[in-house]
Structure 1
Amino acid sequence: MSFLTVQNLTATYGVSQALFGVDLTMAEGEVTALMGRNGMGKSTTVKAICQMIRSEGTLTLDGLNLHDLPSHKVARKGVGLVPEGRRCFADLTVRENLVAAARPGDWNMAKVAELFPRLGEREGQRAVSLSGGEQQMLAIGRALMTNPRLLILDEATEGLAPIIRQEIWAALRRLKQETSVAILLIDKSLKELAAVSDKAVILERGKTVWAGAMADLTPEISERFVGV
């Protein structure tokens, strides 16, 4: 049985249908790139997995039906989300942001600071005073403090300086190598996705149109479904 199973997933925003049949499976410790052009349903799929919108179809985590749970209980079952736009608690310090999300497990302040030394150096600063890249590191650290089994990152490197992007990609490679956390990635950098992901799932118009090993994602497939 797959750790995460998404099958024939459909979802709507009011009367507008956004997903028309998303299929996606993940094993524990696996890194999957969720790909597609803008507006094809990637973030909506993430919201459906996290039960932030109503959806239908098969949606299970380690055999548990996520449709039966509200979003906060999905998080407690081991789904950690790094949302698009970071959404740190601006008036709280770095430490307070991290502690607010903490759940029992291996991840703690010291371990997050080891992964992102900048956060350890700035633990007493308010989140609003951090750079955009540091806020993104804080958002990732906050998700890790929930001790997730599935970590979802929605455009975690978008709009960041190249040096910060590389720090975040290096951290993701460490997570893959040193933990059993499954990681679902949405990002525009095909080169970086290819370097860290085991497989890819491509969406077009709210439906899975290709899925397979990242090594099997040819330039022709990428150009057809992902290229501008």
Structure 2
Amino acid sequence: MTALVELSGLEVFYGASQALFGVDLSIEAGQAVALMGRNGMGKSTSIRALCRVQPVASGKVVFDGTDITGLPSFRAARLGIGLVPEGRRCFATLSVDENLIAAARPGYWTLETVRDFFPRLAERADQQASTLSGGEQQMLAIGRALMTNPRLLVLDEATEGLAPVIRKEIWETIAKLKAQGLSILIVDKTLAELKQIADACVILERGRSVWTGVPDAITEDLESRYLGV
């Protein structure tokens, strides 16, 4: 069976500085995979390479059997890669509905289905994104990504900086999307929540894939060595 996503031997540079030294990652259709590691270990760079925002010096990015390593980011997005970026990055001066419509592509997710999924966004439809709470902005960022009707949803620190009750709501949202069969790549630091969602975990250390396995196989030693503060 061909993986939906296959990153193999990725090497990435920022100028003369090398950030990735051979990252490997695989995601099957319908699977949720967690990309883990301490800050600065290459998680966001791996996502940027996958979404074709960051050039790849060596290695391959394969999506649904097609090598997309050389594609520009907009073409990768059209193939079905939807990104919820770190920091949410909603269009501040646009309304909720305008943010959603700006990303729309044909498919199941429409303004109506996103509103049904996130009733709070329906309530704030005409409100400027900059006036929303952090949790509401995160819902909007997820809704905007869903409006592209992705085959893969990429979530970069989707719960960071949110109050515990809102974090719980976002995790429940992710679980619902997985139950609908959406493939998901998650970057997050909270192992307890990831264990409830992820089918597999990939741990990065200094730009390298150092461990891959199921969440329950992450021992205290592994957690201390690669994930601890």
Give TM class, smaller chain. Answer: over 0.9
| Gap runs ≥5 in structure 2 | none
Alignment correspondent of 2:135: 133
Alignment correspondent of 1:172: 174
CA distance in 2, matches of 1:77, 1:137: 23
> Which residue, out of 102, 105, 119, partners 1:103?
105
Q: Deviations over 1:12-58 (max 9, x none)?
A: 00111000010100101100000000000000000000111111202
| Counterparts of residues 1-228 of structure 1 (less than 5 Å) | 1-55=2-56, 56-178=58-180, 180-228=181-229
Q: Which runs of 4+ in 1 moved over 4 A?
A: none
CA distance in 2, matches of 1:213, 1:164: 26
Structure 1 SS opposite 2:153 = strand
Give identity over the alignment, percent. 56
| Gap runs ≥5 in structure 1 | none
CA distance in 2, matches of 1:73, 1:60: 13
TM-score (norm 1): 0.97
| Matched-pair contact (CA < 8 Å) for 1:199–1:215 | no
Structure 2 SS opposite 1:159 = coil
Question: How many residues of Structure 1 are paired with residues of Structure 2 in the alignment?
Answer: 227
Give 2:215's aligned amino acid.
Answer: M
CA distance in 2, matches of 1:76, 1:44: 20
Structure 2 SS opposite 1:67 = coil
Give the superposed CA RMSD.
0.9
CA distance in 2, matches of 1:142, 1:121: 16
TM-score (norm 2): 0.97
CA distance in 1, matches of 2:142, 2:33: 17
CA distance in 2, matches of 1:114, 1:33: 27
Q: Deviations over 1:186-227 (max 9, x none)?
A: 111111111111110000000000001122222221221111
CA distance in 2, matches of 1:54, 1:7: 14
Give 1:223's aligned amino acid.
Answer: S
CA distance in 2, matches of 1:220, 1:113: 43
- The alpha carbon displacement at 1:108 in A equals 1.1
CA distance in 2, matches of 1:189, 1:217: 13
